[in-house]
Structure 1
């Protein structure tokens, strides 16, 4: 069985048991020996006419550390740049098969394609992709359908490229490693140290690598590994992912449930950590600062149900360590789990291709309970290695017994399923295959982590204690920003698409996330969504303005409920700047809708749950004065319609101010209504009059409820010392809801938030006073009552030394109730609030009608194909 490639002819061998053809130990580069040691690998430039045997694995490359001879019997050599090609028997050059490239792991210091447990049916070994492009067709492979696959440090399928650290690239660290090595081999005094290293016998150099590793290795760095060089690696992987620098292709990425047990066990001194102090000391040896460690201990409490391995209930004994689970969870999340989630959030936001993720929680035979479903236990399943080939039962677990020995049939079935799904992904970019009972669930574009990444990180960027310390230091040093020059803002026109942001709350998929959003009836908490909408408005605004300004929420122009969801579903929150003319303010339009069922699907009008428009104002961070921002450039009919709506909203807000009861006195009709209510209240109050006040008519003064709370730093905004506007929205909404509920003795349905303004900022540590009053009611034609609630908020410092409370905002909420109830003003002031509420109610009807017409126009334009 022979075939020819560019360089010459190879003869392989056939494995009858697996019905596969093997071509082993094929070089793809010149051997890196002699003058080529420590040089850039050179392509294979030799040819031959005779037939070469490709029936044995090549040597393993030089490794170092504790893992240099795993299952390879000492076959280590510098001449190791070979690959192994395996194909199904019966295929020839005429075949066009998809190609799967396996890159072995090993933390940049171990691993080999000789490891037979990784070579049953798939393509294996670290290889040069250019060689595959040139030669794989000779084996029946399709060079246009190549999938890269690997484990651990090799590739992202086991965590993320962002998860495996680049070595410490600082000159002092590199010099330390280099000096130790040249001293060890006697090249320190050579005039050309690199040439001296090239001339050394292989065994001498190999021993030096391992000795250097033992001396210089620490928990927080790799002794030898990749570094940013400006040629192949331009940034550390985390920054590269965050900046969107990746190839847009279908991706499948995952990890094992108990990743951290493996990584935590690699560090010296990991056993017997039983107290917080011992854990703090251990983590500090990873190079983690004390502030970060304190945050980690707070986020990972000792009794948390998230600690791994979850298959073990309670804590381990003092020998393993009472805090072993805590340590393993922290290290696993830092090393693999967290980077995977970060990568997923960015890929899902920016990729036009499907992204799949998985978690593997099965514990194979031979793995102790303190390791459980640890790093790499999925590999025998993905290779369908049910016979345990390559597991010599020398030492547990990774060189232990057959992972499937003594296990139930379900383990073997899982191996068949997983390996087939991986093959399916190689075949067409999708792990789901025909006939599979339950597929990977394909949700909307961005996952939970996208919400956390975009919204939470944009709202709060610095831990409170750190921000507080910095503020105190500046105060002590009297570093005032007053007198600083004004910032320079890019005022070139921006497009609406420049500021567009979309994130998804996967409430239908994540029960713990849903737990944060569900109320006692199992429905979605509107107040929680209001917090997210305000945070999203900030993200959108900064996309438009850039980071050089300070942007705050000045007003909520309107929040309207469109189609309340009938079931728990994933929700998409999206928004963009829709009105900006070059002044300091801009209008941000947002919506909450049922998330699209698949990438590329559009949200339908009847799937929109809530719409919102907010006015954001940009301030110069030095002068604290409003500063100009870029105007919008609108081109498409849809953009022009959105811009026109924003312009109408701007004019409507100006008209609202001019029609306020403090500016415009009641007209004749309003005066007549006030007089009628006043005479009614007199009659009800007259003890000699038989008229009885109806039980469903409540005096306005009796509808008022109050709340008082200290503003804690957990609800601060990105500027650290003021409370985040979304929290004030949530607080005022929930108070308004409670007021409407106690007034009507029903569970009211939220309809609308009328234009409401944030007046004074609320400092962290201040006391917020809020009061809610029913100011207007009117019957609904279909039955029930429309209830308008006014929420007033004031703030005082905690010492209450100020004589006057500062007005922080007034909010006007509208609810529908199935009950028939009426509010009755009794004083002149209450009558004025009632008139103001009536005017708002009339404008609400007009605004909703105009909004419905605008929505209809936009839908018609889309259906006609006039938008891009």
Structure 2
């Protein structure tokens, strides 16, 4: 671990704003303490928000040496003297910009501390919450493609949303957890499957939830009122916990929130055709062996060999261009079978769900520089499995996703320019970029989101859906309301802490900034309402549209989304029928398993 160098980012005037009430100052002389099953921790007190922090609490034994590539093992130690919990933990070893560049906690330009010993969680609680308060609990699972990220990323600063919960009289506790990433947590192949190395990143999350059940009451939380919550790969992880062990309800959570994620989200399509059951997993395992001194070992003995390799040897390979990507796989245990089959059969934990996507997710996941029909079909073919279905799929997709800019994404309202051969952006985007963005957006997140809402509705479980429709500051209009951009609004991070460019307008555009700030307040407090009461409409706001429960059996047979927009004063969000690109999304959903691998 390392000392919390950026505490000023949590407590000082750098996050205070006269535009909104983000808390009054409090003073307290005592150090917060908490006694959990294993012993006592001392934490930090934030005067500005009147919050207590307990940072870097272990929920498992370090997954090193003999425990490397194994399911996480619960703590088995106790202590009598208090331990300090005032430092964020090292991030789990990952391979992306979230792990190599400053996101608000380290000195500018420095890399985060990375370690195999990384299974820790951090707790942010209002100081007014005491032992017997029994308040709801939100458990944040970070995103990052299952290959990067961690709980100390200040874009996920829980102080703001926890403060919102206090402001509307519905206090909650916020927790962020870490889990093993990349090959460390999602090693695939026959040997990994037989040797207990599959889906261990998900199993890490599961053990953290068990720790919370055993210990959260000591912080003033109610273990029966836990909501799991994540974005992107964190939302995918939320979906995995809903499906785990064929949908077995272990009483670990009472609700779930998935932003741009969910049970059948397909982040694998462009890199791993066949999805959860790809033959590529074995190829990747074999490549790992071939590039280490374990090449001559066989079967599960090869996994034992990998456990004893120096960290540097494995890290060098996992960080190479030939490694991965490492994703979850059907193991017949944690992931019992195809996610789409589980949804159809109702084999998921039947708790209320809040789920949504952004209007232009395809600009993050689509294939760029597509200018011809042939290039578009080739891009589609690269994601299909088995290839025998491709001819049929190509015919349908050419019809359902035509090259008509007016119906693609981003919309002509967001980005009015129609590209031609001489346009400056054509060499980057291609003439058919809107077509590509639309298809891949539907394939990867939109169809899975709709399938989840429809499954919840079919089995009479409440769910809510949203579409985030804001192009934030620093993002070009041709990118639009792309992946991840709702996160700053959900966390009410109005000063853009942790961002290279703040998503919010600055003071030189007061009306636009006010609209963005108002929208952030609405979204964040609606999330609080869902976490604390299971109803996002319990948000302490009187001037906003009611967020309807998704009911695919009412009216014309479709549910409704809440559309979040910063138009006008920022309180102009509205409900819409969930019918956009209905035929294309229905096709993608119908072939979720056979073609797309989910």
Does 1:187 find its partner at 2:294?
yes
SS at match of 2:337: coil
1:59: Cα distance to partner?
A: 1.2
Aligned equivalents of 2:401 and 2:457: distance in 1?
27
Counterpart position of 2:76? 45
Q: Deviations over 1:424-445 (max 9, x none)?
A: 1111100002542234343673
Write out aligned runs for 1:611-650 (5 A): none
Match of 1:287 among 355, 373, 384: 384
Match of 2:155 among 100, 117, 122: 117
- 1:216–1:448 distance in 2 versus 1, CA, 3 Å: farther
1:6: Cα distance to partner?
A: 0.5
Counterpart position of 2:243? none
Aligned equivalents of 2:35 and 2:457: distance in 1?
42
Aligned equivalents of 1:29 and 1:337: distance in 2?
35
Aligned equivalents of 1:64 and 1:158: distance in 2?
21
Q: Deviations over 1:249-292 (max 9, x none)?
A: 1111111111111112xxxxx43221111222222222362321
TM-align CA RMSD:
2.7
Counterpart position of 1:383? 491
1:31: Cα distance to partner?
A: 0.5
- 1:44–1:285 distance in 2 versus 1, CA, 3 Å: same
Q: Deviations over 1:312-362 (max 9, x none)?
A: 1243432121111111110000000011111111110112x4211111011
- Asked whether the equivalents of residues 14 and 20 of structure 1 are also in contact (C-alpha less than 8 Å), the reply is yes
1:240: Cα distance to partner?
A: 1.3
- Asked whether the equivalents of residues 153 and 161 of structure 1 are also in contact (C-alpha less than 8 Å), the reply is no
Aligned equivalents of 1:114 and 1:441: distance in 2?
32
SS at match of 2:158: coil
- 1:512–1:185 distance in 2 versus 1, CA, 3 Å: closer
Q: Deviations over 1:715-750 (max 9, x none)?
A: xxxxxxxxxxxxxxxxxxxxxxxxxxxxxxxxxxxx
Does 1:413 find its partner at 2:518?
yes
Counterpart position of 1:242? 344
Answer 1 or 2: which has greater strand percent.
1
Does 1:296 find its partner at 2:397?
yes
Counterpart position of 1:312? 415
Aligned equivalents of 1:256 and 1:295: distance in 2?
25
1:510: Cα distance to partner?
A: 3.5
Counterpart position of 2:447? 338
Does 1:510 find its partner at 2:577?
yes
Provide the TM-score with structure 2 as the length reference.
Answer: 0.69
- Asked whether the equivalents of residues 266 and 443 of structure 2 are also in contact (C-alpha less than 8 Å), the reply is no
Match of 1:83 among 114, 117, 121: 121
SS at match of 2:175: coil
Aligned equivalents of 2:297 and 2:383: distance in 1?
35
Does 1:35 find its partner at 2:66?
yes
Write out aligned runs for 1:226-241 (5 A): 226-241=328-343
- Asked whether the equivalents of residues 115 and 390 of structure 1 are also in contact (C-alpha less than 8 Å), the reply is yes
SS at match of 1:305: helix
Count residues with an aligned counterpart: 441
SS at match of 2:143: coil
Counterpart position of 1:224? 326
Counterpart position of 1:62? 93
Instruction: Say which one has the larger Rg.
Output: 1
Structure 1: 5+ residue stretches without partners: 218-222, 265-269, 394-399, 454-507, 517-868
Counterpart position of 1:7? 38
Aligned equivalents of 2:137 and 2:578: distance in 1?
38
Match of 2:369 among 272, 276, 279: 272
- 1:70–1:149 distance in 2 versus 1, CA, 3 Å: farther
Match of 1:356 among 464, 467, 478: 464
Match of 2:533 among 411, 428, 439: 428
Q: Which has the higher contact order (CA 8 A, sep 6+)?
A: 2
Provide the TM-score with structure 1 as the length reference.
Answer: 0.48
Match of 1:160 among 233, 237, 262: 262
Match of 1:257 among 356, 359, 379: 359
Counterpart position of 1:138? 218
Q: Deviations over 1:753-789 (max 9, x none)?
A: xxxxxxxxxxxxxxxxxxxxxxxxxxxxxxxxxxxxx
1:227: Cα distance to partner?
A: 1.2
1:32: Cα distance to partner?
A: 0.2
Does 1:437 find its partner at 2:543?
yes
SS at match of 2:383: coil
Does 1:210 find its partner at 2:319?
yes
Structure 2: 5+ residue stretches without partners: 1-31, 104-110, 160-173, 179-204, 236-257, 420-424, 560-574, 584-598
SS at match of 2:465: strand
Aligned equivalents of 1:229 and 1:350: distance in 2?
26
Aligned equivalents of 2:34 and 2:440: distance in 1?
48
- 1:74–1:443 distance in 2 versus 1, CA, 3 Å: closer
Counterpart position of 1:95? 133
- Asked whether the equivalents of residues 120 and 385 of structure 1 are also in contact (C-alpha less than 8 Å), the reply is no
1:55: Cα distance to partner?
A: 0.9
1:68: Cα distance to partner?
A: 4.5
1:66: Cα distance to partner?
A: 6.7
Aligned equivalents of 2:529 and 2:426: distance in 1?
46
Write out aligned runs for 1:523-562 (5 A): none
- 1:171–1:416 distance in 2 versus 1, CA, 3 Å: closer
SS at match of 1:144: strand
Counterpart position of 2:249? none
- Asked whether the equivalents of residues 284 and 290 of structure 1 are also in contact (C-alpha less than 8 Å), the reply is no
Aligned equivalents of 1:207 and 1:417: distance in 2?
45
Aligned equivalents of 1:117 and 1:249: distance in 2?
28
Aligned equivalents of 1:70 and 1:183: distance in 2?
31
Aligned equivalents of 1:512 and 1:246: distance in 2?
25
SS at match of 1:129: helix
- Asked whether the equivalents of residues 260 and 328 of structure 1 are also in contact (C-alpha less than 8 Å), the reply is yes
